[in-house]
Structure 1
Amino acid sequence: MSLNRPTQILGGLFIAAYSVLTMVCGIAMFLGPPNGFELSWLITGFVIEAGALWTFVKGADLLFGRDRPKGLIGPTAMKIIVCAYGLILIAALVMSFRSRSWQLNAGSLAALSLMIWAALTLARRRARGDTNHDVANEDDSIESASDRVRFDMLPAESPCLGDTSEMTRPGLPARTIWLTTILVGLVISVGARLIMQSRAANVASVTQNDYTVFMANAMKADAIEDPLQRCLESPDLPHAHWNRETTVAHCRMRTFKTLELADIEALLRDKKADAIDRAFASYLTAQESEEGPKGLIDIAFQNARLGKADARTRKIIDEWKRQAPASAFALTASGLQYVDAAHEARGGASGSRVTEGQWNRMREQIRLANTDLHRAVEIDPRVTSAYPPLIYASAMDGDGDAMEHNANLALDVDPSNLVIRSQLMNQSQPMWGSAFGGVENQRDESAALVSRNPLLRMVTQLPLVYKAFCDCNYPDAYTLQLVLEASDADLAPVQLTKLASVIYDSNRHLAIMLYTEALRFDPRNEEILRWRSEVMIDAGDSKGALDVMLTMARRFPADNQVARQLAVIYRQTGHIKEAEETFLAIVARDPYDVLALGFLGDLYNHQAHQPEKAAEVARRLIELHPDHPAGYIVRACYLMNANSPERYEAIHYVLNRFGDEPRWAGSAKELRAYLAKHPEPTSG
């Protein structure tokens, strides 16, 4: 067979490109679908891999054969081709390691090794020119003696293949080699995948089988009136190995009665800031006592939601500072709130996407936070709650020296404090430059102090939480394994919530149990209540979602956070009248509740279809909260529903004033989509 040189060159390039592209497709299929095991993917991928290799060998044979132009595929070129193909196979193996499964990796290695062995065996036979091994069935062999690739150009010592002198012994027929290679490799790979999938299925079935029992026990514990006993009697996660000493300490800390934001607001209204300070001083004293709950002063600030960046909280804290300017507790609350405001001002984007305006607003909030927090620790350095926001503010500002200095101040006061150690662990992650010796060092330091504070066991578990929460695009089976490992020991509600979010879509029953465990320690957390109810609805348990919220609402009848979530669940489950009544009850208790009013306006716009009531809610929101977008969004929506000519002006007002704020990106996106679908009429 003889082809002219241009045809050979073009054909060679085509074969090279086709082989590489086919190989890439085969690798993608071979590694399986992104969300689980499918045998068809594996079989298809393996066949494509074999086909790619066969195409390369057979195509080169057909194109170049014995009559190829001298030097076109010489020894060096052939070595490069063989080396390149070997590197592609190695890349396939490396890619398979993303699965983090030794079974799949072993199967991949075995299958790829068999394919390489087959290619080298055939190369050696072509080099020898041996044809007597398949005379009886020559038409079925991979190539005939007259159309054979000249692999004899390979030297005895190839840099990629090593010693090729032993590749000259005749052996099995070529067809048998290929069939054996494909079948054995397929068996190994399928077996590896099935073992991995079987392990994942066993784990998943355990969590599903235990779900009913766990939820029944959780509901039984919910009926207990005493908060501490309710927490202690609540079930641990199935098959987890939580430490009872740590769990008891955690329950004691979380259930100790402390002032809430409404209590602080009422005391300030009566000019009783001194009563607030006395209460917080008592928490600090109890924390420092031998028998008192560890971390009590820190949880008191959390229970009062004093670190929340909103206008109402800021107003209350400013009044507290005005009435008690030398209060270390008021200054700590102020610093906590400023740091949260700094975090919001920066937004969640990566550093390169943060605008100069966002950086400036963040730094201004950090400046205010540092002023109040440093003054707080000067007045009373024992207030441990002031140190974590100082450390985090320094990290956000990129000031490593200040972060180190603030950490040393904190450790001098209380080296075994939960929130301080948790903050140090957070900053020790690689994303923060592995400060304070890195994650492993912080884990070891915390473990050494568990005898002083059993709550530190939760800190030692954080590296596993970080690994599970890394957004590394792991296969579902491996992600599930990481979540179970991370939740095998005691964790704080925020960490349990993170783990639940990781497997929200892939294992809803486990997500529900993780949210339930988080609510065991933080039963009034508005976001966790909402997420648990939503995942229960997604799992087909709408009645259960409503029942657990009704239980919480009966336990905390005057709590607007719980009531808001009950109203949201009423709405999601189609109980529109009950949702409206619940929102109205919230507004009756707190006429300024911007979230309840916003939800109520949205209900009138979209489910209740009462535009006149939506218009009244919008008017009220704009009057009470002129700097909040809720009222303007409700107004734009009811004008859109009515196809009012004023709707475009209302939409542009929202977009121009609030459209660039990350918190309102979803609403802005919907309004822009409306404009794209309903273009403004042109004048004239």
Structure 2
Amino acid sequence: MGSGPRWLLIVAIALLGVGEWAWGIWSGMTQMTQLHTQLVRQQAAFHLPAAKRHLFTRDEVKTFLAAAKQAEAIKDPLQRCLAYPDPPRSHWSPDAVAAYCHYRLQPVISFAEAQALIQSGKAAELDGRLAQALHDQQTQAGSPGVLNQIFYQDFGNGSFDIRPTLDAWKRDSPTSAFAYAASGFADVEMAANARGSAYMSDTPQSNVDAMNRLLSQADTDLRRAIELNRQVTPAYVAMINAGKMGPGRTYIDEAARRGLAVAPADYSISSALMVAEQPKWGGSLYAMTGLARRAQTHAKDNPLLVLLLAEVPAYEYDVCNCESRADWAAYPTVFDNVASLNLLSNAGSAAASNNHPELSVVYLSEALRFQSATDAIRRKRASGLAALGESKMALDDANSLIAADPKNADNYQMRGIVYMDMADNRHAEQDLETALALNPDDIDVLSELGNIYTNVTYEWDKGWDVADRIIRKYPDSPGGWVMRATIQENQPRAGLNETYQYFVNHFGNDPGMQWQITHMRELLAKAPQGDSAKTVSK
């Protein structure tokens, strides 16, 4: 080889070394798999002009729902999940979907079972079952993340009620890595509850002190768990989550480094780290992209890692964004590949809140695919189904929910709304009245019922009573006063001037109420002198 080619080779090697350093110790020089190509394609598509994006057509949604309804008739949750259709025009990885179906729906030991074993002096048996779950997680393709799922389900609700059970477990099994990991895992979730969701500046110092105390306890137990068995992956997940609240970036990075060293293909560790890499936690889109890219080198061992591909565009676009000006046509690009239950649910809920049923029913259906027992998601989907003319499917859902839980007011409210969309006002009224009997003074139900009486059936006395109930219970809500003004205009009734004055005094600075104020002022100008100023009793 001549000197020229040799120098070119040296330069090339040096440049490759710089590239490896820039991407961190995980990336190496391995050629990116086809899944990395999907990430590049997905990100490039996400930045296409709006004209290149698309909403689902009515025919696409109709075809999707027909297939979804067939799948939902399957009794077995896993087979139902596997049979479910993917979103229209998406490119969901079949292996990743199958892995996520197993991950979400595999049977796991419940907290009640674990508690019964501990209370009956059989903590060793519980340790043995968790050791088997760890072994299955490491070796069985059909048990992806099973130990992690047990920890999420049994110890991740943030309830202090489970603390006595966890303490008893540690006493009975002082060398159990699982007992210490569970204790630390639970403490991190309790710390999050103690801290709350307000800005730190708005959080009472007592809450901050409680959070820090719990995080300190968690750190002690989690470190002990790792000393006893460094393979117990939920311990690293808990440490990453703890780092966001207090210990900080160094703590997070150390937990991730140690966790991925023993379980490089673990989805829960990478998923927790992905959240910690978000800009709002001190990370960056660059860091998120790098993590998603590195994770795909292990996707052949764990297809769940494909779910990380959606995290960057989902964060960049913000699928929790409920603003009406959002670019809803970007959703199909964000979710071109399978995403987590949380992202799918958030996307469907945001679309539902902003009158995009063509998106909401698809993504809420996909959320139900991976967690079919979520009644709140099913109720939210129902209104979108009715809006798209799929009232029969919505009504079937409502009937099933009421049959399963006949004392739940939300289920009757949902069916009442479906009946309203079907223009069946008699049944809508019956269900809304039933919901109100179960949950008196619910403003949402009162508003729906008042809408029927005021704007559909014109039963002014009933509408007036509903408006009066809203005004008495929620005087700072404009809904009851708008309802009252509508009746005073259309029946007519006296007292519009009183309504107008209250509205101006309490809602005059609300930009969204200016039309109502202007309209009332115009009505007053046209009213016979003196009649509009009559006072009505509240």
TM-score bracket, shorter-length normalisation = 0.5 to 0.7
| Whole-angstrom CA distance in 2 between matches of 1:333 and 1:209 | 48
The equivalent residue for 2:438 is 603
Q: Secondary structure at the match of 2:55?
A: helix
Change (3 A) 1:437 1:463: closer
**2:102 matched to 1:260?**
no
Instruction: Pick from 457, 470, 486 the counterpart of residue 334 of structure 2.
Output: 486
Q: Larger radius of gyration, structure 1 or 2?
A: 1
Shift of 1:382: 1.0
**2:110 matched to 1:275?**
no
Contact 1:424/1:436 (<8 A) preserved = no
**2:304 matched to 1:455?**
yes
| Whole-angstrom CA distance in 2 between matches of 1:526 and 1:336 | 27
The equivalent residue for 1:246 is 96
| Whole-angstrom CA distance in 1 between matches of 2:206 and 2:297 | 44
| Whole-angstrom CA distance in 1 between matches of 2:181 and 2:437 | 37
The equivalent residue for 2:415 is 573
Contact 1:427/1:435 (<8 A) preserved = no
Q: Deviations over 1:204-250 (max 9, x none)?
A: 351x3222332232222122233322211111111111011111122
Contact 1:550/1:566 (<8 A) preserved = no
The equivalent residue for 1:126 is none
The equivalent residue for 1:228 is 78
Shift of 1:393: 0.7
Contact 2:267/2:304 (<8 A) preserved = yes
| Whole-angstrom CA distance in 1 between matches of 2:241 and 2:285 | 13
The 5-angstrom pairing of residues 609-648 of structure 1 reads none
The equivalent residue for 1:495 is 343
| Whole-angstrom CA distance in 1 between matches of 2:293 and 2:239 | 23
| Whole-angstrom CA distance in 1 between matches of 2:183 and 2:391 | 40
Contact 1:388/1:420 (<8 A) preserved = yes
Shift of 1:538: 7.3
Contact 1:516/1:532 (<8 A) preserved = yes
Change (3 A) 1:565 1:233: farther
Shift of 1:490: 1.1
Q: Which amino acid aligns with 1:569?
A: N
Q: Which amino acid aligns with 1:568?
A: D
Q: Deviations over 1:36-59 (max 9, x none)?
A: xxxxxxxxxxxxxxxxxxxxxxxx
Shift of 1:552: 7.1
Q: Deviations over 1:517-546 (max 9, x none)?
A: 112112234553454356557778676445
Between the aligned residues of both structures, percent identity stands at 28
Contact 1:497/1:528 (<8 A) preserved = yes
Shift of 1:601: 11
Change (3 A) 1:494 1:473: closer
The equivalent residue for 2:492 is none
Q: Deviations over 1:353-387 (max 9, x none)?
A: 33323322221221222222222222221111111
**2:244 matched to 1:432?**
no
| Whole-angstrom CA distance in 1 between matches of 2:151 and 2:406 | 22
How many residues align? The count is 388
Q: Which amino acid aligns with 2:410?
A: V
The equivalent residue for 1:464 is 313
Contact 1:530/1:565 (<8 A) preserved = no
Change (3 A) 1:215 1:398: same
Shift of 1:462: 0.9
| Whole-angstrom CA distance in 1 between matches of 2:195 and 2:435 | 30
Change (3 A) 1:564 1:234: farther
Shift of 1:501: 2.8
| Whole-angstrom CA distance in 2 between matches of 1:324 and 1:565 | 42
Change (3 A) 1:292 1:233: closer
| Whole-angstrom CA distance in 2 between matches of 1:472 and 1:221 | 30
Q: Deviations over 1:54-97 (max 9, x none)?
A: xxxxxxxxxxxxxxxxxxxxxxxxxxxxxxxxxxxxxxxxxxxx
The equivalent residue for 1:204 is 55
Please report the RMSD computed on the Cα atoms of aligned residues, expressed in angstroms.
Answer: 3.8
**2:216 matched to 1:367?**
yes
Contact 2:409/2:435 (<8 A) preserved = no
Q: Which amino acid aligns with 1:603?
A: L
Q: Which amino acid aligns with 2:438?
A: L
The 5-angstrom pairing of residues 189-200 of structure 1 reads none
Contact 1:542/1:573 (<8 A) preserved = no
Structure 1: where are the runs of 5+ without partners?
Answer: 1-99, 104-195, 558-562, 576-598, 608-640, 642-646, 648-676, 678-684
Change (3 A) 1:605 1:269: farther
Q: Secondary structure at the match of 2:192?
A: helix
Q: Which amino acid aligns with 1:500?
A: G
The 5-angstrom pairing of residues 235-384 of structure 1 reads 235-289=85-139, 291-302=141-152, 304-384=153-233
Q: Which amino acid aligns with 1:520?
A: R
Q: Which amino acid aligns with 1:369?
A: A
Change (3 A) 1:311 1:602: farther
| Whole-angstrom CA distance in 2 between matches of 1:489 and 1:362 | 37
Contact 2:93/2:337 (<8 A) preserved = yes
| Whole-angstrom CA distance in 1 between matches of 2:319 and 2:59 | 28
Contact 1:214/1:238 (<8 A) preserved = yes
Change (3 A) 1:258 1:460: same
Asked which structure has the greater RCO (Cα within 8 Å, sep 6+), the reply is: 2
Q: Deviations over 1:631-654 (max 9, x none)?
A: xxxxxxxxxx9xxxxx9xxxxxxx
The equivalent residue for 1:417 is 266
| Whole-angstrom CA distance in 2 between matches of 1:565 and 1:341 | 30
